[in-house]
Structure 1
Amino acid sequence: MSSLSSLARILLSLVLPAGLLDRGPALHGTKFLAKAALKARFGGGRPFQMVNVGACDGALFDDVTPWLHRIPGARAMLVEPIPYNQKRLRANYPDATRFVIEPVAVTRSKGTITVHTFDAAALEAGTLPIEFIGCSSVTDTNLMSGKNAWGEADANFNKFAPHLKDIEVPSETLRTLLDRNGITHIDAFLVDCEGADWMVFDQLDLDRYRPGMIKIEVGALPAAEVGQVVVKLKTAGYHVGFQAEDIWAFA
Structure 2
Amino acid sequence: MEFVRVVLALGVPVGILNRGAPLRGTRFLAWAALNARFGRGRPFQMVNVGACDGALFDDVTPWLHRIPNARAVLVEPIPYNQQRLRKNYPDTERFRIEPLAITRKPGSITVKTFDAAALEAGTLPIEFIGCSSITDTNLMSGKNAWGEADIDFKKFAPYLRDIEVPSDTLQSVLDRNQVEHIDAFLVDCEGADWIVFDQLDLERYRPGMIKVEIGALPAAEIGNVVVKLKTAGYHVGIYAEDVWAFA
Task: State the TM bucket, normalised to the shorter chain.
Answer: over 0.9
**Aligned 8 A contact 2:138 2:146 in 1:** no
Letter in 2 for 1:32: F
C-alpha displacement of 1:148: 5.4
C-alpha separation in 2, matches of 1:119 and 1:78:
22
C-alpha displacement of 1:140: 1.4
C-alpha displacement of 1:23: 1.6
C-alpha displacement of 1:62: 0.3
Does 1:60 pair with 2:56? yes
C-alpha separation in 2, matches of 1:246 and 1:148:
13
C-alpha displacement of 1:22: 2.4
1:135 alignment partner in structure 2: 131
1:72 alignment partner in structure 2: 68
1:30 alignment partner in structure 2: 26
Matched position secondary structure for 1:133: helix
C-alpha separation in 1, matches of 2:224 and 2:143:
24
2:183 alignment partner in structure 1: 187
Once the two structures are superposed, what CA deviation does each residue of 1:64-96 show, in whole Å capped at 9, x if it has no partner?
000000000000000000000000000000000
C-alpha separation in 2, matches of 1:199 and 1:178:
16
Letter in 2 for 1:28: R
Query: 1:72 and 1:11, CA in 2 relative to 1: closer, same or farther beyond 3 A?
Result: closer
1:212 alignment partner in structure 2: 208
C-alpha separation in 2, matches of 1:153 and 1:221:
17
RMSD, aligned CA = 1.8
Q: What residue ranges of structure 1 are gaps of 5+ in the alignment?
A: none
> Normalization by structure 1: what TM-score?
0.93
Letter in 1 for 2:127: E
Q: What is the correspondence of 1:155-194 to structure 2 with a 5 Å cutoff?
A: 155-194=151-190
2:39 alignment partner in structure 1: 43
Which has the larger share of helix? 1
Matched position secondary structure for 1:184: coil
Matched position secondary structure for 1:67: helix
> Normalization by structure 2: what TM-score?
0.95
C-alpha separation in 2, matches of 1:123 and 1:163:
9
Does 1:222 pair with 2:203? no
C-alpha displacement of 1:21: 1.5
**Aligned 8 A contact 1:49 1:188 in 2:** yes
**Aligned 8 A contact 2:46 2:185 in 1:** yes
Q: What residue ranges of structure 2 are gaps of 5+ in the alignment?
A: none
Question: Which residue of 13, 16, 21 maps to 1:20?
Answer: 16
2:111 alignment partner in structure 1: 115
Letter in 1 for 2:186: L
**Aligned 8 A contact 2:141 2:147 in 1:** no
Query: 1:136 and 1:25, CA in 2 relative to 1: closer, same or farther beyond 3 A?
Result: same
Matched position secondary structure for 1:43: coil
C-alpha separation in 2, matches of 1:184 and 1:96:
19
C-alpha displacement of 1:43: 3.3
C-alpha separation in 2, matches of 1:250 and 1:149:
27
More deviation, 19-28/102-111: 19-28
Question: Which residue of 96, 100, 104 maps to 1:100?
Answer: 96
**Aligned 8 A contact 2:133 2:139 in 1:** no
Letter in 1 for 2:210: I
More deviation, 42-51/91-100: 42-51
C-alpha separation in 2, matches of 1:135 and 1:69:
25
C-alpha separation in 2, matches of 1:129 and 1:194:
17
**Aligned 8 A contact 1:22 1:241 in 2:** no
